[in-house]
Structure 1
């Protein structure tokens, strides 16, 4: 073990147990209490430790199958690196079911033993790191889903030298327990299964079960339904005649409809759906809520014609016939309810909706997005009464949790499956054997598999089903050419266990209810986020005996792979930064987990890098969808507010000077003068990011006042808790009078792109807005709307930044942003490169895995993180200890403090664009500065100066792994 790590451990121990202000303590070595909090679960830390360790030992009393699925993903990657581990568990209280041990036997790089100690109830996780130090997580969390993701748990994470007393004690205890424990074998498992008796529920659990049974007699609205009912009633109170509810599949939309009918109390109700099977189930649900006489409920379909019923449930195919419609008066029904409302663009639906004139019409759908020009929002008068998407439903535990597993698809002779792969490879014996191996390894919840496989082609689906059946896994293929009766028969066989898998193409994306599905398999490319979520949702209905759904996605070289993390997290921002982060951090959603193997993650990363998420084609699509939703031209604030495309995507797009230019591309009837266009470009490109509120606040107050005094501006900044000093005030004026931008940009000054005239000037009376701009704001409504929109959006985006200081940890900044926020007089970002030593500050820009770096400088002289708070940094070459800029960095004031503050900005690679994460202020480690000779290939050695820099705030360990790629 190196002296550096020993020193870090000592500092971290002192910080954790004696004085938290101790310097040199690092996050990954410091003692820490681990809780299950949003974006920081116990599982997150377990996974990080596993990914970085060289060996591991788990000693846990209780294990549940639902947490083994994400664990297996990590262990599969470790197996490829030759990393093995041990799990010591128990049969205490008969908690561990036989299927737990069966799943553990499938993991090749883990040895499992069962403790014979009476009352074995430990919960500890030990990780060895390259033979030098150990990490330990010990506390209250067993290896169960709720313990690692949701429960209120206390766990202590400790790091120790392997010769430390605590580590030795724990190793000794584990060794003693391991020696007396029984090896997990097939024979042991068979005997355990034969004699296993499930534990009786505790008194509290029995009470809950009884409550559930009683609750079944009287159905009451869940939280989502209660909120939706209140919104619907409020809509009607305001005079609304129509309302749309968007809610994920399986969240109880049908019951919601029944509850709203109950609170509306119509004379007669009409429920419209597209299939008779759904219709019959809907009628049963309504009866459970509304009660009454059975003869008050009737069906109108090809097989039934009970048109006089008070509550009439009709198929659109029958109801839309002119002869059938003519039998009803236009005001026959007080309340009309449209299920799967996104289908209402069809002529049959339009005919029915045009004919009837109910007092209120409600539409329900899980997917309002359309691929045609029909606007479901317009149909319902733009009254979106309630919206609850998949991620919200999972957080609220309204759906069955899933474990998504993204793994690499089968490779044949080095070739990966892609869109052009021929059938003989898509449905080969070798690929199916590989698929079955993965399906068995990751498993499912329950006693038998009820699987749904999605393929891309009909011939592939048929051949996959044939091969599965031939290999002992009964399956049948279904497509759009199969009749409803054929599909229903196949579903019945799946539910009864006669089939293990339904292999589908082009169907079962929506409108089908098979609660027993416990394994969803994707053997096709992801064509759209909508279809992906629809297919994922097929397994999310809750069912007896189903604790979770295993979703296994075979990821080939598909161009749309980038959609996967976006669809899973519901991210619609079109931000590559967000997409990369979601892929790398693999967030949890409620009790659901997202997991990618390293190879699959790399494939998706490549497609994220390749795709232009801000391409105009994508932005046009997003614009049309939001316009349909709002019923008017959307503004940037609308995109930001409604969780859609990040407004910054429009601002950062090099093809768009501002949002006005985008509206022109959308063929909207808008006109601005050249100067108005230039001013709008300035506020969009320079201020919309919200990184500093000062300019936005001043421009906003100048909308209402002719002049704002310096004292009034200072008071305004104080009210908004913004930092304020003379340098910042001077910088704000330099931005707004454009002097900051009077630098070369090709053959002209940057300031000329913004009109060349000051936006704001300062005189004895105070700040005042350019008179031409003020006149345009008064006379030109469009310019005023677009100008105010940028200010409002910028202030909304500013909420994610700390207003008390120039930079916010782990937010992203470009070199130009840094020049501005450091209050530099000019934008000198073009020649800035790796660093620039200013009078009081020096920003350091580190690209951790720079492309072609070996050609630029010796591999031995790359900037490198030692740990989460310590980085070895090198100057440019040639530089000596006596060089001016080095002496500036080392200069101290009368109190012995460094005159120049160092700010570290970092990104993983150049492929991630111009933005750098702000890692914080750092200080030069005493005694670490030295001059070295850097050997470049085929060149003479050149002098550089190296030094160790210590971050004031150590990086979060997960962020450290994300930025450095270290394992």
Structure 2
């Protein structure tokens, strides 16, 4: 119904709404289009206080909406109307049914509404609306009316128990939730295989700390070390472990406490440094919380401690802004992975409504950026202005919240900025407070209690350097992003603060104040879920955002214009900006591997497309290495390094290992080849004898022949680069090698039931959903079989393929697809009969369709064979289990007729 209402508002000049219930969760999705109609015509909204479901805050928002007239029905008569009426230049329409102005009524509930285009009916309903509008029990909306309603309205449902329960306050021992049960099973399987290192990647709010406590109990470990970088993380972890294991054997090191002789010790990484007792003990189980910090220097002493212990690293976002791969700590063993979109899709976290608010109170263009960021002292000064505080409050009150009371957290640039925002809100008759790491843990936790307490007036908490991770406040129902976002990972961690399930709250309200600066796209890229089944959002030309199911992304018109202007940068401009950002961060000229795990930056192929090679990019930035100056492009050094930064599409790591080995030991390539696998043990599964592998053959195809003569190696390459040879080759090679490892060995195995219909999947992701790790030597066929499951992966546009591989694949209707088999498949051989007879053999077919080459494939659902034409190749007609929706057709660039036979 939300789509129907938005479509009606888009061209309307007059709007009439009569709804019994109005809540912020529904109104906030229509604020901008309602205001646009009010600017060009007339909007009247009639709602009620019937059953006290309507939120006072939603009435306040309606009162503040310029040009929107609102009246409220009260009194003894029940008011249960659900009526939507739109008139524009192209005509009028009206709807009546069951949808209120709520999130459930518009977007998530099963509702039934009937549309009419009859002129007589439209006039009749308008007269009926006018009659309702003029009833004696219908009053104009006013502050006095809202005040009286609020006084007499019964409180909404609140949390059944207070936050931060001590062990002796809880009557029941906690039990693993569904996500924890899945992860515990995977950890047990991993230990049974003899593995002693593991990572759990799970979205904030799924209970990673409790998971660790449950697994410690399951493993029967006696001596356990739990490490975090913040004291308040440890105090909450101790509570969790105490509830699961009992607190008799728990001890804390840090914050003035020294309990290092306990069986289970919780310590900050700062306290661990130089602590002879803790570093000298032999542990059974070591846990690092917020594992993505593990590459920091303070964590290095832990490497020795985990040699003889079972090690668990826990994080919501393993991707670091500096590109370091922390999964190396656990030998790339990901025991369990459940990212935020999937957790929302499975209803284990709250969905969100994200609003991109155009912020032009600050001129970011005139602010100097240093080291890839705006200096904090400059940023806090620019953000701490009254006009911006006024904008933030106005928009936050307008969009409202969902829950028993407002519990809003605003993420600020600095302590001074947080203090300014709290002071500015208090001056505007709001109850607000600033929180920072300078306060004692007990003081911060008391503020969090007040925020969660329905009877406490505190509604706004502005934070700096806290609440990014590791603290649980399920009562939070609204977030404000008040500074440029540094990274997608940090944004998702902050977003996770408000996604925990909480009684009386159905949706998290998120306000992001979008300015004209280089990082404005980061948040939208973080929200994009390639497998998302939520309402698609056309942000700008060339970028359609897919939020998770049940989530909404709403961008103001001006916000879209700001984003479009930023996006108009050419590929070369974006590469220039990214290169300079990396150079500022690293303090040295970057190499391609520094782009790894930096999703907000252009890819290596973009740099090669813009410049031709990384060396040419460095030359354009004034960073040419001394050895590169004066060398002609045809020099073997240039040819070698250019080849090293190219993805060879190798089916095994051997050729890359050999090139690495040549760079490490030019005179002993065999020794260098073997050293690669010692240096990068995650590739041991593909370690083959150099004599039996095809590495030399592949290498000679990919690297110019001039590089391989001994004279050229000695005189041209070693002389030019000297000791830099390995650094330069490795800094290019690892970009591809890391990507290949992630595709082949870095994924968590899943089942077909985990597939999201119309979600986007790469081939490695598809393979993992059928219980296997991707092997490019086995899994690059058009149809793959996994026991009784046939997976067809095909593309519509094959014009770029080699001659002989251009197949005719097409949709016939919105439920029928014609798939062209490979020439070797016939009606009579086993390969063809497995497809044509799949139903009789008890097999299931799954169809994935790409629009074009190099695009992810969309999962179209299960399909069954209905007809075949031709032979060698066959044209196989498949019938889908559901019609292809219109928005998916647009994504695939097709327009399909309906299928007449729906049986």
**Deviation of residue 189 (structure 1)?**
2.9
Which residue of 95, 99, 103 maps to 1:145? 103
Alignment of 1:535 onto 2:499: no
Specify which of 399, 405, 410 is matched with residue 442 of structure 1: 399
Counterpart-to-counterpart distance in 1, 2:762 and 2:292: 35
Query: In the superposition, relative to structure 1, how do residues 63 and 295 fare at CA in structure 2: closer, same or farther (>3 Å)?
Result: same
Pair 1:144–1:511, CA change in 2 (3 A): same
Structure 1 stretches of 5 or more lacking a match? 1-41, 206-213, 624-632, 679-687, 691-702, 705-717, 738-759, 763-790, 805-867, 870-905, 908-915, 922-951, 955-967
Could you say if the C-alpha distance between residues 582 and 595 of structure 1 is closer, same or farther in structure 2, counting changes exceeding 3 Å? Answer: farther
- Does the 8 Å CA contact 1:566/1:579 hold for their aligned counterparts? no
Tell which deviates more after alignment, 396-405 or 536-545.
Answer: 536-545
Residues 269 and 325 of structure 1, relative CA distance in 2, 3 Å threshold: closer
* 1:553-602 alpha-carbon deviations (Å, 9 max, x no partner): 222211222222211224699xxx99846998665534432211111122
1:177 is the counterpart of 2:138 = no
Compared CA separation, residues 656 and 918, structure 1 to 2 (3 A)? farther
Offset at 1:295? 1.8
Please give the alpha-carbon distance, in whole angstroms, between the structure 2 residues aligned to 1:514 and 1:720: 45
- 1:565 matched to 2:565? The reply is no
1:324 is displaced (CA, Å) by: 1.9
CA contact (8 A) 1:150 1:591 kept: yes
Compared CA separation, residues 433 and 301, structure 1 to 2 (3 A): closer
Residue in 1 that maps onto 2:287: 337
- 2:48 and 2:54 in contact (8 A); partners too: yes
**1:402 to 1:284, Cα distance in 2 relative to 1, 3 A:** same
Partner residue, 2:12: 53
> Is structure 2 residue 92 aligned with structure 1 residue 134?
yes
Find 2:893's aligned residue among 918, 924, 927.
918
- Please state how far the C-alpha of 1:97 moved relative to its aligned partner: 4.3
Distance between the aligned counterparts of 2:312 and 2:190, measured in 1?
11
Distance 2:798 2:385 in 1: 69
Q: C-alpha deviations, 1:230-270, integer Å up to 9, x for none?
A: 21122112221111011122221111112222322223333
1: CA distance, partners of 2:18 / 2:386? 40
Would you say 1:91 and 2:57 are equivalent positions? no
Q: Is the 8 A contact 1:320 1:352 kept in 2?
A: no
Partner of 2:151: 194
SS at match of 1:345: coil
Summarize the Cα distance change of 1:525–1:238 in structure 2 as closer, same or farther, 3 Å threshold. Answer: same
Native 8 Å contact 1:565 1:583 kept in 2: no
C-alpha distance in 2 between matches for 1:503 and 1:610: 34
Cα separation, 1, equivalents of 2:641 and 2:367: 38
Decide whether aligned partners of structure 1 residues 451 and 231 sit closer, same or farther in structure 2, where only a CA change above 3 A counts. Answer: same
Match of 2:191 among 208, 231, 236: 236
Q: State whether structure 2 residue 510 is matched by structure 1 residue 551.
A: yes
Residue 562 of structure 1 contacts residue 605 of structure 1 at CA under 8 Å; is this kept in 2?
no
CA distance in 1, matches of 2:795, 2:422: 66
**2:223 paired residue number:** 268
Deviates more, 1:494-503 or 1:53-62: 494-503
Aligned residues: 651
Cα distance in 1, alignment partners of residues 859 and 607 from structure 2: 18
Any gaps of 5 or more consecutive residues in structure 2? 161-168, 369-377, 583-591, 614-638, 648-655, 661-695, 705-760, 764-776, 779-789, 807-821, 825-849, 864-884
Provide the C-alpha distance between the structure 1 equivalents of 2:554 and 2:230, rounded to a whole number of angstroms. 36
What is the Cα deviation at residue 278 of structure 1?
2.1
Distance in 2 (alpha carbons) for counterparts of 1:251 and 1:659: 47
Q: Which has the larger radius of gyration?
A: 1
The 8 Å contact of residues 77 and 598 in structure 1, kept in 2 or not, is answered as no
Is 1:224 the equivalent of 2:179?
yes
What does residue 304 of structure 1 align with?
Answer: 257
Give per-residue Cα distances to partners, 1:779-829, cap 9 Å, x unaligned: xxxxxxxxxxxx9x969956669999xxxxxxxxxxxxxxxxxxxxxxxxx
Q: Per-residue CA shift, 1:260-311, capped at 9, x if unaligned?
A: 22322223333222333222221222232335xx423333335333344343
Quick check: 2:291–2:314 contact (8 Å CA) kept in 1? yes
- The equivalent residue for 2:117 is 160
Cα-to-partner distance string for 1:824-846 (whole Å, 9 max, x where unaligned): xxxxxxxxxxxxxxxxxxxxxxx
Matches within 5 A, 1:609-624: 609-610=568-569, 612=571
Q: Is the Cα contact below 8 Å between 1:403 and 1:594 reproduced in 2?
A: yes
Q: Are the counterparts in 2 of residues 340 and 365 from structure 1 also a CA contact under 8 Å?
A: yes
- Computed over aligned residues only, the root mean square deviation of the Cα atoms, in angstroms, reads 5.3
Aligned residues of 1:723 and 1:803 also touching (Cα < 8 A): no
Secondary structure in structure 2 of the residue aligned to 1:562: helix
2:877 alignment counterpart: none
1:566–1:137 CA distance, 2 compared to 1 (3 A):
farther
Deviation at 1:226, TM superposition (A): 1.9
C-alpha displacement at 1:388, in angstroms? 1.6
2:340 equivalent to 1:390:
yes
**8 Å contact from structure 2 (residues 575, 607) kept in 1:** no
CA contact (8 A) 2:201 2:339 kept: yes
The counterpart of 2:548, out of the listed 585, 589, 596, is: 589
SS at structure 2 position matched to 1:232 = helix
The answer on whether the counterparts of 1:410 and 1:417 sit within 8 Å (CA) in structure 2 is no
Q: What is the DSSP-based 3-state SS (H/G/I as helix, E as strand, rest coil) of the residue aligned with 1:295?
A: coil
5 Å-filtered alignment, 1:598-617, equals 598-610=557-569, 612=571
Q: Hey, what's the Cα distance between the residues in 2 that align with 1:549 and 1:723? A: 38
User: For residues 882-937 of structure 1, what are the alpha-carbon distances to aligned partners after superposition, in whole Å with 9 as ceiling and x for unaligned?
Assistant: xxxxxxxxxxxxxxxxxxxxxxxx99xxxxxxxx973548xxxxxxxxxxxxxxxx
Could you say if the C-alpha distance between residues 799 and 71 of structure 1 is closer, same or farther in structure 2, counting changes exceeding 3 Å? closer
Q: 1:481 to 1:571 in 2, by over 3 A?
A: farther
Using structure 1 for the length normalisation, give the TM-score. Answer: 0.57
In 2, the alpha carbon distance for the partners of 1:530 and 1:729 equals 36
Of the three residues 114, 120, 123, the one matched with 2:82 is 123
Task: Tell me how far apart the structure 1 counterparts of residues 640 and 541 of structure 2 sit (CA, whole Å).
Answer: 28
SS in 2 for 1:105: helix
Equivalent residue, structure 1, for 2:374: none
Q: Deviation at 1:98?
A: 3.8
In structure 2, do the counterparts of structure 1 residues 327 and 129 end up closer, same or farther at CA, with 3 Å as the change threshold?
same
Report what 2:645 is aligned to.
664
Give the alignment partner of residue 301 of structure 2, picking from 327, 346, 351: 351
Q: 1:582 to 1:221 in 2, by over 3 A?
A: farther
Q: Report the Cα distance in structure 2 between the residues aligned to 1:602 and 1:656, rounded to whole angstroms.
A: 32
Contact 1:566 1:572 in 2 (8 A): no
In the alignment, what sits opposite 1:321? 274
Is residue 417–residue 556 contact of structure 1 (8 Å, CA) maintained in 2? no
Shift of 1:174: 2.5
How far apart are residue 469 of structure 1 and its match?
A: 3.9
1:429 maps to which residue?
386
> How much has 1:354 moved relative to structure 2?
1.0
Q: Structure 1's 677 and 650: CA in aligned 2 closer, same or farther, altered over 3 A?
A: farther
Instruction: Give the Cα separation in 2 of the matches to 1:109 and 1:337.
Output: 57
Range 529-538 or range 95-104, more displaced: 95-104
Contact 1:495-1:516 within 8 A present in 2 as well: yes
Q: Report the alpha carbon displacement of residue 482 of structure 1 after superposing the two structures with TM.
A: 6.6
Instruction: Give 1:364 shift.
Output: 0.7
| Secondary structure class of the residue paired with 2:30 | helix
Query: 1:527 is paired with a residue of what secondary structure?
Result: coil
- The alpha-carbon distance between structure 1 residues 146 and 220, as it changes in their structure 2 partners (threshold 3 A), is farther
Shift of residue 722, structure 1, vs aligned partner: 8.4
Paired with 2:794 and 2:457, the residues of 1 have a C-alpha distance of 67
Equivalent pair of 1:411/1:417 in contact (CA under 8 Å): no
What is residue 526 of structure 1 aligned with on the other side? 485
